[in-house]
Amino acid sequence: MITRKTLHIPELGSAGLDIPYFEIVGNRDGPQLTLMAGVHGAEYTSIAAVREFIRDLDPDAVSGRIVAIPIVNVPGFWARSAFVVPADGKNLNRSFPGDPNGTYTEILAHHVFDTFIAGTDYLVDLHAGDLPESLEPFSMFEESSVEDISRGLAVSYGLAHIMRQSAAVRTVAGSSCAAAADIGVPAIIAESGQNGLLDRSAIDRHLAGLRNLSRSIGVLDGAPWPERNLHEHEGWHWLRTDREGWWQPVVVTGASVAAGELLGTVSDVWGDVFAEVRAPEVGTVLFLTSSPAVSADGLLLGLARG
């Protein structure tokens, strides 16, 4: 049976914040799979995939339980905010496990973590490139006591690139999957889509991943596809600009680059180039900022090692 539920967080805003979610309880025992999307409110392909996955789901094919939150960052969705929660400008995916006595985003993270992440058997947090971001599809998991299971989730999701983040050099701290890993919940972040576009092929890639992953852990009937040969990466470089400027990449997402290869330039408003951005080592471009306007310390490009 598919039930529509709402998480009400009374302390957020004057009337409290409501986060709608689905709960599907199967007729047979099985694990709990939790799906989150819209932690970044303008990554529409991820939101669309969770909506469609649940609406197309046959509850009789479910063993165990699926909990699915199509839009976690509800205020960010309505405000069309890239990356952040509007009330305090913080990135929810840098704020887990949250703080019940913190700012708006930290309180939101706390309730989402307590309600949806703690106690589940598996977590998939769906993302895409945000409004100013181009992206090559990839999955990400964390070094942890359950990382073999997390890697298996990433493999079954089937996106062409898989990123393993070591605990010592977490490029992304406070993410949903890092917080989950820290309490022993196998988790991945799955990225497909870019630039705020409701791209059909990117949604379908998410949907195929969700169905195959659900089958591989036995929460959904049906045989998973044979394991695919995917490109696995051990860590990455997030390249930034010191000064604000006009960022102009010369590579595209998915490109394999050599050590020292030019990735793009940053120039001032007159057009004078003040920085050439080069690959620190051999790598693959998994995302890049597609908007030329970058602020001081702004993120330019994510280069996966290898």
Write down the least CB distance from residue 127 to Zn ion, Å.
Answer: 3
DSSP string, 156-223: HH--SEEEEEPSTT-SS-S-HHHHHHHTT--EEEEE---TT---HHHHHHHHHHHHHHHHHTTSBSSP
Q: Which is nearer to Zn ion, 152 or 193 (CB)?
A: 193
* 127 near Zn ion (CB under 5 A): yes
Q: CB 191 → Zn ion: shortest distance, Å?
A: 7
40 scored as a contact of Zn ion (CB under 5 A): yes
Single out the residue of 194, 234, 186, 192 nearest to residue 209, CA to CA: 192
Rounded to a whole number of angstroms, the minimum distance from the CB of residue 258 to Zn ion is 29
Contacts of 55 (CB under 8 A, 6+ apart): none
Query: Per-residue x/- marks for Zn ion, 209-248, CB under 5 A?
Result: ----------------------------------------
Binding mask 83-122 for Zn ion (x = CB under 5 A): ----------------------------------------
Phi first, then psi: give them for residue 146, nearest 5 degrees: -115, 25
CA atoms 222, 69, 119, 190: torsion sign: positive
Which tokens belong to 263?
């990735």
Q: How far is the CB of 277 from Zn ion (least distance, A)?
A: 22
Instruction: Give me the least distance between CB of 82 and Zn ion, in Å please.
Output: 9
Element (DSSP H or E) covering residue 150:
helix 147-157
The one segment of 125-133, 154-162, 224-232, 236-244 that binds Zn ion by CB under 5 A: 125-133
Give the Cα separation of 53 and 47 in Å (integer).
10
Which range of residues in 7-15, 32-40, 268-276, 284-292 is near Zn ion by CB under 5 A? 32-40
CB of 36 to Zn ion, least distance (A): 11
Backbone Cα Rg of the chain:
19
- Residue 161 as a binder of Zn ion (CB under 5 A): the answer is no
Q: Which C-beta is closer to Zn ion: that of 63 or that of 290?
A: 290
- Binding of Zn ion at residue 206 (CB under 5 A)? no
Count interface residues toward Zn ion (CB under 5 A): 3
Beta bridge partners of 24: 2, 66
Q: Is residue 252 packed enough to be buried (19+ CB in 10 Å), middle (13-18) or exposed (0-12)?
A: exposed
Point out which residues bind Zn ion (CB under 5 A). Answer: 40, 43, 127
